[in-house]
Amino acid sequence: MAITQSDIDALTKAITNGVLDVRYGENRVVYRSIDVLIRARNDAQAQLDAASITRNSRCSVAAYSRD
């Protein structure tokens, strides 16, 4: 399952409200503590950021010749 911004928003909302269960569509996850929830949100954000960098990266190659 790919991480989406709405998943991260759901985690952030749960942290803000102090609740430990989060729904992702039809799935429900109950976290042990707010600390675990925060770590899950930070990990999800890092995964989304990494995917964004990969998707938006461009590479240029310069070619030189001696004539």
Exposed/middle/buried for residue 37 (C-beta within 10 Å: 0-12, 13-18, 19+): buried
- Residue ranges per domain, the chain? 5-55
Predicted model pTM: 0.73
pLDDT band at 61 (very low <50, low <70, confident <90, very high): low
Q: How far is CA 42 from CA 45, 49, 50, in A?
A: 5, 10, 12
pLDDT band at 62 (very low <50, low <70, confident <90, very high): low
- Residue 56 or 2, more confident: 2
Q: Which pLDDT tens digit goes with each residue over 5-52?
A: 999 999 999 999 999 999 988 889 999 999 999 999 999 999 998 887
Neighbours of 15 (CB within 10 A): 17
